[in-house]
Amino acid sequence: MINVNNLTKQFGDNQVLTNITTEVKKGDVVAVIGPSGSGKSTFLRCINGLEEATKGEIIVDDITLTEKTLAQVREKTGMVFQHFHLFPHLKVIDNITFAPIETKGVKKADAEKQAKKLLETVGLSDKANTYPNQLSGGQKQRVAIARSLAMEPEIMLFDEPTSALDPEMVKEVLDVMKQLAHSGMTMVVVTHEMGFAREVADRILFLDEGAVVEETTPHAFFHHPETERAQSFLEKVL
């Protein structure tokens, strides 16, 4: 579903990603783990074309990412950010129906029907007519996930979706993500939630200084990290 071949990204003189090659199969859940500044967000942003690769190739569902295919690739990838990015002036339901109506030409009634289903999936059926500022962080993030799913992506990219949440709200968001993973969604998740990574991910990608330092199963990563860098990272976070 995603092929990344020798991806290198520079911001000016700063080389942020170096020769990343990896592949994500349909239905896989890949957790991207690594220290702050290691290039995790940039990696995700390159996959959906929010950042342009300096070198290398990104192929999403057999489409090579170029300027020409950017819109097509975007349509296949949903992205959820740390800070929700909901439209504050729109009710929850309108947040969810906005893109399908405006970019895909879905009829309002159909979009609303789908939005209600999605709200049910994320456990927020009663919030359709609420404005974002009346929601808790966990609720906002669940709306953001529903909004992303409304575009019917093939792949969901998550960039630290629980990092901005109060601790008691982390679980409700992780539970929605877990449910999505079990439904067969292809997911790439940047996270500091080691429990989630261990339990839900099929594969761990450990990044350090812009390079893939370990790529392995959760069991191997958490129990027998091979590199000193992964060992010292795990000592700090576990």
Binding site for ligand ADP (CB under 6 A): 11, 14, 16, 34, 36-42
What would the two tokens of residue 185 be? 């969604």
Among Mg ion, ligand ADP, none, partner that 77 touches (CB below 5 to 8 angstroms by kind):
none
Considering just the CA atoms, what is the radius of gyration of the chain in Å?
Answer: 18
Residue 159: CB atoms within 10 Å:
20
Nearest approach, Cβ of 133 to Mg ion (angstroms)? 25
Among Mg ion, ligand ADP, none, partner that 16 touches (CB below 5 to 8 angstroms by kind):
ligand ADP
Q: List the Cα angle 220/222/138 in 5-degree steps.
A: 125
**Residue 77 contacts Mg ion per CB under 5 A:** no
Nearest approach, Cβ of 107 to Mg ion (angstroms)? 37
Nearest approach, Cβ of 140 to Mg ion (angstroms)? 19
**116, burial (CB in 10 Å: exposed 0-12, middle 13-18, buried 19+):** middle
User: In whole angstroms, what is the distance from residue 116 CA to residue 93 CA?
Assistant: 8
**Residue 41 contacts Mg ion per CB under 5 A:** yes
8 Å CB contact between 136 and 159: no
Nearest approach, Cβ of 207 to ligand ADP (angstroms)? 7
**Residue 38 contacts Mg ion per CB under 5 A:** no
Among Mg ion, ligand ADP, none, partner that 184 touches (CB below 5 to 8 angstroms by kind):
none
Measured in degrees and rounded to the nearest 5, phi and psi for residue 173 equal -80, -45
CA-nearest of 159, 150, 149, 151 to 179 is 149
# chain residues binding Mg ion, by CB under 5 A: 2
> Residues interacting with Mg ion, by CB under 5 A?
40-41
